[in-house]
């Protein structure tokens, strides 16, 4: 049997995505409360996300969305990670309010601990991608567009990690779009 690496990339990236999502799931969570949601897009869903990013660029005037959309199109998969909102009853004030009760009066303001949980999970996921020698990048823009598409509707904050297997990472040496 002969297996050509070029013909196995899609299968390989999806297996890697499963491992990377697992790294996000097992990352520590504030007070041990897991509010994280993680999914992987590939194929037509991935390209629909890139199209939504181009539309978001038009709507917001943020040109880096266009560059990032090209990166999504050059990817084989993109992992989306978000968090449901729930205050942790710590009254830490990190969200800008003196107490969780006060913050709960403003459901549009995220709990800082929920945001930190996403960051810690993304760190674990990026480390796993590096361990697997999968090119990746963390993107606000793709998460923003995913929210606009109604993906992970229970999550207010969503970030994305596109994944690539190629001889040159599409995520570096990118032209600045300011």
The domain segmentation of the chain, as residue ranges, is 13-164
Q: Percent of the chain at pLDDT above 90?
A: 90
pLDDT band at 93 (very low <50, low <70, confident <90, very high): very high
pLDDT, position 145: 98
Judged against a pLDDT cut of 90, whether residue 108 lies above it is answered with: no
Task: Please report which helix (H) or strand (E) contains residue 79, including its range.
Answer: strand 77-83
For CA atoms 107, 109, 115, 117, give the dihedral sign. Answer: negative
- Distance, CA of 175 to CA of 27 (rounded, Å): 33
Judged against a pLDDT cut of 90, whether residue 68 lies above it is answered with: yes
Residue 139: both structure tokens together: 């993107």
Helix 140-149 and helix 64-73, axial crossing angle in degrees, nearest 10: 80
Judged against a pLDDT cut of 70, whether residue 177 lies above it is answered with: no
Distances (CA, A) of 136 to 77, 95, 98, 109, 156: 10, 29, 37, 29, 23
pTM for this prediction: 0.93
Give 83's strand partners. 36, 157
Q: Does domain 13-164 have CATH number 3.40.50.300?
A: no
| pLDDT (mean) for 45-51 | 98
pLDDT, position 85: 93
- Distance, CA of 49 to CA of 72 (rounded, Å): 8
pLDDT, position 162: 98
């Amino acid at each position: 049997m002969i297996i050509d690496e070029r013909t196995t990339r899609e299968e390989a990236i999806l297996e890697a995505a499963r491992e990377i999502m697992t790294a996000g799931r097992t990352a520590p969570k504030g007070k041990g409360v897991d509010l994280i949601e993680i999914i992987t897009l590939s194929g037509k869903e991935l390209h629909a996300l890139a199209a939504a990013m181009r539309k978001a660029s038009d709507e917001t005037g943020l040109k880096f969305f266009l560059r990032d959309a090209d990166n999504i199109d050059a990817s084989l998969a993109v992992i989306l990670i978000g968090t449901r909102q729930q205050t942790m009853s710590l009254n830490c004030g990190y969200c800008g309010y003196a107490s969780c009760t006060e913050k709960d009066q403003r459901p549009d303001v995220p709990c800082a601990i929920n945001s930190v949980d996403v960051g810690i999970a993304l760190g674990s996921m990026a480390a796993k991608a590096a361990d697997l020698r999968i090119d990746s990048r963390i993107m606000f823009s793709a998460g923003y567009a995913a929210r606009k598409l109604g993906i992970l509707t229970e999550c207010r904050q969503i970030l994305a990690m596109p994944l690539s297997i190629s001889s040159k990472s599409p995520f570096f040496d990118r032209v600045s779009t300011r």
